[in-house]
Amino acid sequence: MRLLITGGSGLLGSNLAFMAAGEGMATHAAYYSYPVKIAGATTFSLDITQASDVFQKIEKIRPDIIIHTAAITSPDVCEEDKDLAYRVNVTGTGNLVQAAKITRTKFIYLSTDLVFNGCFSFYREDDTPDPLSYYARTKLEGEKIVAANSKNYCIVRTAVIYGPSIQGGSFSEWIIQELKEGKQVPLFVDQFRSPILVTNLARALLEICRRDITGLYHLGGADRINRLDFGRILAREYGFSEANLSPVAMDDFGFKAPRPKDCSFDISRAKKTFQVRFLGAKEGISRLKELEDEGYSEQLRGALHGVRPQ
Ligand SMILES: NC(=O)c1ccc[n+]([C@@H]2O[C@H](COP(=O)([O-])OP(=O)(O)OC[C@H]3O[C@@H](n4cnc5c(N)ncnc54)[C@H](OP(=O)(O)O)[C@@H]3O)[C@@H](O)[C@H]2O)c1
């Protein structure tokens, strides 16, 4: 099976490419500004906003499946630079979908729990989206483009992704780093989501490829949890004092992009369909620690040599 992963230098895409290549899949991973090398995979640069580049590279690779993880993922950056957000998250997605149509390539699109307004809990796939931020609007627009133009697609809405990355700064990496440095870590008590370990999500995405799963799925961790409680579990697992975690309210932060209060998932559709088991926060964090102890995180970073262009 020939796989093309966009966002190969990002948190999800790098883990996915590393795992897919490790399983012997013919893996092609695209980066944009952060060149990476992945053991067993072919990596190359791609700007998804450039239609001709997208068509040329997809035509050349002729992948069986595209997993589109690339995006401008910071809600505040999207709010401040709407043009960039639209070009990458909407136009870029459209370019990939059109190219995939020509090569009859299955399309897996990563979307977000932030498409919901957060007035409820445990969102299901048939609940009506109502995005609060420009980021979430562009991701939802991407969903619509995929559904309208692809004959063989899977849309995966996911939640806060945590775990090892090459560029650093995932939610768990940030907390651990701050605690290591003895800093006080402010964590929201008033936002509830369903965080998922990156390798757990990557396994589920590879299952979509293997079993040809289609449709719309909410793939998150098994727990609805706020960031402070997540931080507490993490601190305990890594042997740090919880005293360095401070409860804060999201509203006090004055973010550029509005954020929903509760966009936790109901993952019952995923549980019925997938063989992969979706881990709760405690299990996911203890698996994260195991991955580090087993040397996974080091191998990931070792296999992926990021070099920032001068
Ligand atoms: N992280 C989360 O908590 C979360 C939660 C819900 C949904 N999601 C969704 O899950 C997906 C993966 O998120 P992530 O956290 O892994 O993303 P990420 O770490 O922020 O990585 C984003 C990727 O997009 C690439 N990119 C940016 N502009 C590009 C362009 N013009 N052309 C091609 N590639 C471009 C980046 O490349 P360079 O780094 O090389 O520039 C990077 O590889 C996204 O679609 C996101 O919307 C993420």
Domain ranges of the chain: 2-164+195-221+264-279+295-303
C-alpha of residue 241 to centroid of ligand 1, in Å: 32
Ligand 1 centroid, distance to 182 Cα (angstroms):
29
* Residue whose CB lies within 8 A of the most ligand 1 atoms, among 73, 174, 198, for a mutation test: 73
Question: Any alpha helices (H) in the chain, and if so which ranges?
Answer: 11-22, 51-61, 75-80, 82-85, 93-103, 134-149, 171-180, 198-211, 227-238, 268-273, 281-293, 296-303
CA of 11 to the centre of ligand 1 (A): 7
Q: What is the pLDDT of residue 268?
A: 98
Whether residue 139 has its Cβ less than 6 Å from ligand 1: yes
pLDDT at 304: 57
308 phi and psi angles, rounded to 5 deg: -75, 130
Over residues 146-172, the pLDDT tens digits come to 999 999 999 999 999 999 998 988 999
Each residue of 93-102: pLDDT tens digit? 999 999 999 9
pTM: 0.97
Which residue's CA is the nearest one to ligand 1's atom 32? 47
196 lines ligand 1 (CB under 6 A): no
DSSP 309: -
The answer, yes or no, to whether any atom of ligand 1 lies below 6 A from the CB of 88, is yes
* Residue 112 Cβ contacting ligand 1 at under 6 Å: yes
Q: Are 170 and 161 in contact (CB under 8 A)?
A: yes
Residues of the chain with confidence (pLDDT) below 70: 303-310
Q: Report the CATH number of the 2-164+195-221+264-279+295-303 domain.
A: 3.40.50.720
Q: What DSSP character marks residue 250?
A: G
275 lines ligand 1 (CB under 6 A): no
Residue 52 Cβ inside 6 Å of ligand 1? The answer reads: no
The minimum-distance atom of ligand 1 relative to the CA of 47 is: 32
pLDDT for position 303: 62
Q: Report the chain's C-alpha Rg in angstroms.
A: 18
Q: What pLDDT, on the 0 to 100 scale, is given for residue 310? A: 29
Q: Is 87 in the pocket of ligand 1 (CB under 6 A)?
A: no
Ligand 1 atom with the smallest distance to the CA of 162 is 3
Q: Give the closest residue (by CA) to ligand 1 atom 15.
A: 11
Residue 77: which residues within 8 A CB-CB, separation 6 or more? 84, 85
